[in-house]
Structure 1
């Protein structure tokens, strides 16, 4: 996106904010031209663009169906101005097959097109969507180069640590990093699928409901495969040890499907829906272990509670195991053990359903010694509260039986109705929304102990005994909040834990001060060793915030931590000092032939470093963060 368009969009946004209320019967309507912009031709053009946009037929449909959430009433709903940074094709996909399909169900196909064009301020087809160019025919999967880090957590224990041999990058050389290639995904405003390198290729999912295989050296496209919806998970790859192997890829999409594809061709081998609930989704990357694909299941039902006529809520989180060869479901373990039932009525007479929630939006970690996996859960979405929300689960990998659970925050029952002018579905607990969104990790310490370590949106980090689930230590690292605390992923190296803290403002008042940035803890004791505070360089930019939400990665004595301000910072693992940084919101040339920019670093797509190549995913145009569309490869080669 050009700087001139950002300026125009900003002026249009100001004009929208200055829009007068509906006139009373005895008043003349306010004239938008009273905003004295005529002295500047660019501002006048922006005003004319704004007026034309308001006259588009989609405005009435937007006001009727969408405005109640997207005009600031719901903290997590992106504002209209941010949605307008997307192209109409991307918006249309969101309301037809994507994250907002349920909310837009009352609109006809024609009305959805009109809403998309109104929000984007452009007609369908007005923006060129250059695809990623195809590679030459001789570029493909190299079976002599098996994957070194085939999973989201980079190791089964989810430590997100990359050793010196695998990384091929030293701290002394990090300042020499420069772009090797960059990719702009067609029709996207975020890049939140963590790429995986294997066989000389980069496998990555897109906001545009596709999975790509790219050449690791040049970024050209070997193949692409279409999916039902946005792919926000990382891509998991089979291990192989033979040059006649037929490895597969595994991932999930926003509509709750999990897939297996042929890694060489992208051919779909099987797909399964993880849950029958219409709002099920897969956010955390599935984990592969001993012939089983272990998929965490989350939901977007929490946002539907804003409608007082919606019977909130009926979704229960789960983990599902599939046979990787056939896609057959082997077992399914719900995080709430009883099915939802009518619990009463809300103030407008709609049934209250429950218990519900305890979603799982993090990637399972594997404990080979104990043959169990670990996941964390979110809040309950409706009363009654359960003992398994905001909790850590240990689940037997063979049977799906629950070995133990440990709850961090009791009575956390919350949904989006609680922070709006329509709170009919807000439960009486009106909880703090302290999910475990961050993946658990299993750490083996220098003294021989194993610990299950979990970071929470409360700002606390908890260490548990993997045999019993008993608490070993607990440390408050951040303030916490609806968009605060620990979000998507920590990293561990030796006895040291690296914790990114968001602590983004969420409209609530807290007694504890914000502590956004990167923290290091001694896992033997839980004591904080150092804190690198995130600087506030946002200067009023929409969607820009100090702090770390994206998963962080430990790399050979360094920690890569992407900020919500769009800056990737590489820290010294021993001291926290910043060794190097890169502003991803700058303009980058791409293999597509069109320039692109990143945005906020967000979601589970943490940095990946292998054989001297660094892969960064930037852009998080959701939940009040900066949109962007950048997969960037860097190295130190001349």
Structure 2
């Protein structure tokens, strides 16, 4: 069978490589068939399959066909691609795997080489969301911004191009490249750092640049804008804009090709810094932040835009996945986009005009109380959401009502299946907005943020002015009544109404979805369970325990008449340093696997539980010259520079630095300043920190380790487990 697959696949590759003519797409066929030819499955990126071999009558017979170890303990967000019996998928930092889709046999792998200093500019773990396949090439964006075209049969690099325009800024790349005819389009991440967003189109055959579209203007003092659309955008930014910080607007995901109108639709990111009072003092809509923008495929010129969240203060990005469809609107079939961005509204948008045909809230919102379809903009309520002059509780929060995890659309049922998160943020300005210093290639968020699930417990510890503002805020009752709701929903696109909902394990339990014509919805959870549900009712029809946390969207394909369901496992993404206790990754580690199921398959090997935590080692003696002020300075430096990776929580993906052994303590300066552990992925910090600052951080960690050890020894004496819950109980004695 392997030989037959190779011959068929080679023939398909040869046909695709015959020239650079724009391939035609049959949009009359909706949903994926035997192949799943891009991370979204079909031309509409619907995460919907026409296959019906697995259905409600036999889904209980699903078992493991094969598994593949992805060789990582970080996040897995990619949905695999399968073409003619060969599976391609990507992993951390842009690693690529080619596998026999029927057996799991490894055909080849590719690991991009990169300077691990890039790790300091990745906000949300080492994610990569997938690959593209065209003209005999597998195309992937690596974390450092290199775009690689690999020979699909061998994995050899056929061409590569650096997509980053300024390596002096915090650009990274985490999204899947998008095929648009004979072009491939890629964006970048880093809006919280010091970047200015853009997307670039390259020719698939040789990697030559075709066009580039910037999502926000540059400083007009530097000369003319790169393209005409930016002249109009410039009028929506204030004269005092902090162009030096960058502005944000990165396109880190959500690039979709619309073959009906031969256009590329991009979703743009948040402003950087978050507070408009810093970024663009005096206001303005700040185009094209948080927008959908349709670009002509051939020229890169703008066809239309829709700004879903003007005047961004809240990280309410529009970079969430889009699904295309033809849908009945007011008795007429219209080509539409279904989009559920972070901002809490479900948009149905005309693909030809960019006009919103429906915009309904699916969670609590107080940055806007509705959407004016005629005016094409929200009814904003800044009096309860603009934190320029004081703290505000804002719904939805920066994790978003929706985020990167894909939804699925079943056109036969007119149902949109998606995980939805209803929660908020407390936001305030931690300091004055004047003369904020740019942090080069580093976080420039500019706002203090506390999520509502943690808010009530944290209120007593807040500074008095912040605490008073919280307790007097109109949304304080929302927080007390329901800090969050996290659930998988079936939604009617035009009304936003929920047909059915299934509660998730917690607010961090977010997951992608797969829908099939046979009436099934597949999804995983952080506890490591994979489910199949009835599309009409949400009833659970099948589940299997895998022992590995699942966030990525499942997919399905067929080889030799056998239907398979595949999903990547691995915890991570935003908030990746804080592993919730209900996650399999907390109890069994974060071993990343690709799991593939078929009817009549076997059991899934379950990883062993991690060893029980033991009390932290006795740290070395504190520095003789350590003072409370020095330790406090170390705490601040640790929070600003280290805590995004080292959360210092039990079972965190990266080492808890309150548990260092004597060898690590002894080499602390060499690790941080000299790059002793660069081969392990730990970057060096001598460009940001000096010896005295590193010493202060070390003093803080020695103090923290001594405190943790004392508390854990007390827990051990009382016979309590060494976990976060027990430590919290102990702190209340």
TM-score (norm: length of structure 1): 0.63
CA distance in 2, matches of 1:535, 1:548: 6
CA distance in 2, matches of 1:570, 1:152: 20
Q: Deviations over 1:309-342 (max 9, x none)?
A: xxxx3x2222211100000010011111334879
Correspondent of 1:249 among 138, 144, 147: 138
Q: Is the 8 A contact 2:566 2:597 kept in 1?
A: yes
Select the residue among 490, 503, 514 that pairs with 1:553: 514
For 1:440 and 1:277, the matched residues in 2 are separated by 29
Q: Report the Cα offset of residue 181 of structure 1.
A: 1.5
* Matched position secondary structure for 1:275: coil
Which residue is 2:564 aligned to? Answer: 613
Contact 2:94–2:140 (8 Å) recurs in 1 = no
Correspondence for 1:155: 42
Aligned residue number for residue 486 of structure 2: 516
Matched, 1:210 2:95: yes
Based on CA coordinates, which of the two structures has the bigger radius of gyration? Answer: 2
Query: Do the aligned partners of residues 465 and 370 (structure 1) sit closer, same or farther apart at CA in structure 2, a change above 3 Å counting?
Result: same
The change in CA–CA distance for 1:450 and 1:301 in structure 2 (over 3 A counts) is closer
Question: Alpha carbon RMSD of aligned pairs, Å?
Answer: 3.0
Map of 1:235 onto structure 2: 131
Counterpart pick for 2:540 among 561, 566, 578 = 578
Aligned to 1:435: 317
CA contact (8 A) 2:76 2:91 kept: yes
1:599 matches 2:581: no
**Residue 500 of structure 1 corresponds to which residue in structure 2?**
419
* Residues 486, 502 of structure 1: 8 Å contact kept: yes
Cα distance in 2, alignment partners of residues 292 and 606 from structure 1: 26
Q: 1:463 to 1:491 in 2, by over 3 A?
A: same
Give the equivalent residue in structure 1 for 2:30.
none
Q: Deviations over 1:372-395 (max 9, x none)?
A: 121211111131261211111111
> How far does residue 138 in structure 1 lie from its aligned partner after superposition?
9.9
Query: How far apart are 1:354 and its partner, in Å?
Result: 4.8
Deviation at 1:261, TM superposition (A): 0.7
For residues 145 and 175 of structure 1, the distance between their equivalents in structure 2, rounded to whole angstroms, comes to 37
Paired with 1:340 and 1:253, the residues of 2 have a C-alpha distance of: 32
Give distance in 2, aligned partners of 1:265 and 1:461: 43
Q: Give yes or no for contact 1:500–1:548 (8 Å, CA) kept in 2.
A: no
Question: 1:286 — aligned with what?
Answer: 177
CA distance in 1, matches of 2:544, 2:220: 48
Q: How does 1:468-487 map to 2 (within 5 A)?
A: 468-479=353-364, 480-487=396-403
- The answer (yes or no) to whether the contact 1:607–1:614 under 8 Å persists in 2 is yes
Per-residue deviation, 1:551: 2.9
Secondary structure of 1:175's match? Answer: helix
Please tell me whether the aligned partners of residues 261 and 270 of structure 1 are also in contact (alpha carbons under 8 angstroms).
yes
3-state SS in 2 of match to 1:281: coil
d(CA) in 2 for partners of 1:258, 1:250:
7
Contact 2:255 2:265 in 1 (8 A): yes
Q: What residue is the counterpart of 1:78 in the other structure?
A: none
Q: How many aligned positions are there?
A: 436
User: Which secondary structure does the structure 1 equivalent of 2:333 belong to?
Assistant: coil
| Residue number in structure 2 paired with 1:331 | 211
Which of 593, 601, 622 matches 1:630?
Answer: 593
Q: Which residue of 2 aligns with 1:531?
A: 500
Counterpart position of 2:84 = 199
Alignment-derived partner of residue 441 in structure 2: none
Classify 1:260/1:497 alpha carbon distance in 2 versus 1 (closer, same or farther; 3 Å).
Answer: same
- Tell me, in whole angstroms, the C-alpha distance in 2 between the residues paired with 1:196 and 1:339: 41
Q: Secondary structure at the match of 2:58?
A: helix
* 8 A contact 1:438–1:490 mirrored in 2: no
Paired residue secondary structure (2:60): helix
Task: Supply the distance in 2 between the matched residues of 1:339 and 1:160 (Cα, whole angstroms).
Answer: 40
Contiguous gaps of at least 5 residues in structure 1: 1-134, 239-245, 305-312, 344-350, 413-430, 537-544, 587-597
- How far 1:284 moved relative to its partner? 2.2
Asked if structure 1 preserves the Cα contact closer than 8 Å seen for 2:290 and 2:317, the reply is yes
Residue 188 in 1 paired to residue 135 in 2? no
Q: Is 1:391 matched with 2:352?
A: no
SS in 1 for 2:532: strand
Could you tell which deviates more after superposition, 565-574 or 326-335? 565-574
1:271 aligns with 2:160: yes
CA deviation vs aligned residue, 1:62-86 (integer Å, no higher than 9, x gap): xxxxxxxxxxxxxxxxxxxxxxxxx
State how far apart, in whole Å, the 1-side matches of 2:491 and 2:93 are: 38
> Do the aligned partners of residues 436 and 563 (structure 1) sit closer, same or farther apart at CA in structure 2, a change above 3 Å counting?
farther
| Cα 1:454–1:632 shift into 2, 3 Å | same
Are 1:504 and 1:547, in contact at CA under 8 Å, matched by a contact in 2?
no
Alignment correspondent of 1:85: none
Which whole-Å CA distance do the structure 2 matches of 1:464 and 1:529 have between them? Answer: 19
Gaps of 5+ in 2: 13-33, 115-125, 223-233, 235-241, 274-278, 365-395, 426-449, 453-474, 580-584, 602-733
Q: How does 1:316-465 map to 2 (within 5 A)?
A: 316-339=196-219, 353-354=244-245, 356-382=247-273, 383-384=279-280, 386-412=286-312, 431-446=313-328, 447-465=332-350
Q: How big is the shift at 1:572?
A: 1.6
Take 1:552 and 1:583, find their aligned partners in 2: how far apart are those partners? 17
CA contact (8 A) 2:64 2:597 kept: yes
